[in-house]
Amino acid sequence: MATSSGHTLKAFDDDLDRLRALISEMGGLAEHAIREAMRCLQQRDVQGAALIVENDAKLDALEVETERRAVQLIALRAPMAGDLRDVVAALKISGVVERIGDYAKNIAKRVPLLETMGNIEPLSLLPEMARIATEMVHDVLTAFVERDADAALRVMERDNAVDDFYDSIFRTLLTHMMEDPQSIGQSAHLLFIAKNIERAGDHATNIAEMVYYAATGQHMTEAQTGKKP
């Protein structure tokens, strides 16, 4: 249910807007971290990777700030119905986005270890996978800010693409490892990186469920989640 007019108490609107802005900011940082991590991986940019690891602290700080603001809003404004669902969703989403940021950090940490790696096929698939996952995160957070339940539903569908990518990369890397035992170390890293990106996509769908509930007050049905059994 989209909100019609603003609150009679304008400060309440301001507080909610600020909360959403924080989530947007966190989302932006997380997306940037994933994209940067991919770039550093492609270009073997060790310094860039180190920067990503450093910047993760910002994301952690934002999560703390979001939690603080959400708690304050509940105490002081006594939000009801849609507003209450929004605030609780913001609280949960901030935690999830922070995990996504951690995944990006994790990828960045592995870049120095792959410095000497050659160009293998999985390497070229990863950026595309990451692009879809990043798009999912972007879209789902936009859906949150705009309280768009349908956009959240659409995000759910793309997770299958990410999963398919993961399956494909997994098989390729397995074959690669079997063919060239020397490359097991690096392939293992690539495997973990792929896993992180796949987890990021899963988290985006979790966020999509939270957004759906916040916007409509109903939980997504099994069919809507489209989760494979």
Partner 1 sequence: MNEIPTPILADIDEPPADVNRAPKMSARDVSVFYGDKQALKDVSIDIRDDRVTAFIGPSGCGKSTFLRCLNRMNDTIPSARVTGDISLDGQDIYHSNMDVVQLRARVGMVFQKPNPFPKSIYDNVAYGPKIHGLATSKTEMDGIVEKSLKRAGLWDEVKDRLSESGTALSGGQQQRLCIARAIAVDPEVILMDEPCSALDPIATAKIEELIHELRGRYAIAIVTHNMQQAARVSQRTAFFHLGEMVEYGKTSEIFTNPRERRTQDYITGRYG
Binding site for partner 1 (CB under 8 A): 1, 3-9, 12, 78-85, 217-218
- Tell me the HSE value of 154 on the side-chain side, using a 13 A CA sphere: 14
Radius of gyration of the chain (CA): 19
Would you state the torsion angle of the CA atoms of residues 168, 125, 156, 228, taken in this order, to the nearest 10 degrees?
10
What ranges in the chain are assigned the alpha helix state H? 10-43, 46-77, 81-110, 121-146, 149-179, 184-216, 222-225
d(CA 3, CA 218): 16
How many other CB atoms sit within 10 Å of the CB of residue 19? 23
89's CB contacts (< 8 A; 6+ apart) are 144, 210, 211, 213, 214
Are the C-beta atoms of 97 and 229 separated by less than 8 Å?
Answer: no
